[in-house]
Amino acid sequence: MSEKKKVAFVCVHNSCRSQIAEALGKRYASANYEFYSAGTEIKSEINQDAVRLMKHIYDIDMEATQYPKLIEDIPAVDIVITMGCNVQCPTIKCEYREDWDLDDPSGKSDQEFWKVIQAIENNIKNKFTIR
């Protein structure tokens, strides 16, 4: 079997959307890919609303296995997915790059978080799961 492709979800602070994407990538497609998240800057912790909602919806405790990381803290990757924060990552070499153009739900209602979480889940299932 060939080596798994490595995927990086990149966001400015690596505290919300990219962390959700890493967790859902691992949930749905870890058989074929390795998932990472990183930012161009980092916050001290993962967004607590994201942590709470991911525990509630998916029973995933992101704080148990994930933490905010800078781009240079992750291994070389094959695929880069930016979350929609106009992040340009010229230092990340990759075979493929895509932007998902997702609004940052930080500081917004649970309903806004849920919309973003659903969009991330759908994108991951459509892009990374075998049909």
Q: Is residue 50 part of a domain?
A: yes
Tell me what pLDDT residue 2 has: 66
Burial class (CB in 10 A: 0-12, 13-18, 19+), 49: middle
Q: Is residue 130 part of a domain?
A: no
Number of H helices, E strands in the chain: 4, 4
Supply the range of the domain harboring residue 38: 7-125
Q: Is residue 131 part of a domain?
A: no
Q: Is residue 2 part of a domain?
A: no
Tell me what pLDDT residue 84 has: 86
Residue 34 maps to which CATH number?
3.40.50.2300
Q: What is the mean pLDDT of the chain?
A: 92
Tell me what pLDDT residue 43 has: 92
Q: Please write the tens of the pLDDT for every residue from 4-27.
A: 999 999 988 999 999 999 999 999
Round to whole Å and give the CA distance between 114 and 58.
12
Q: Is residue 119 part of a domain?
A: yes
Residue spans of beta strands (DSSP E) within 2-111 = 5-11, 33-39, 79-82, 96-99
How many domains in the chain?
1
Bridge-based pairing of strands 79-82 and 33-39 is: unpaired
Q: Please write the tens of the pLDDT for every residue from 100-124.
A: 999 999 999 999 999 999 999 999 9
Tell me what pLDDT residue 56 has: 97
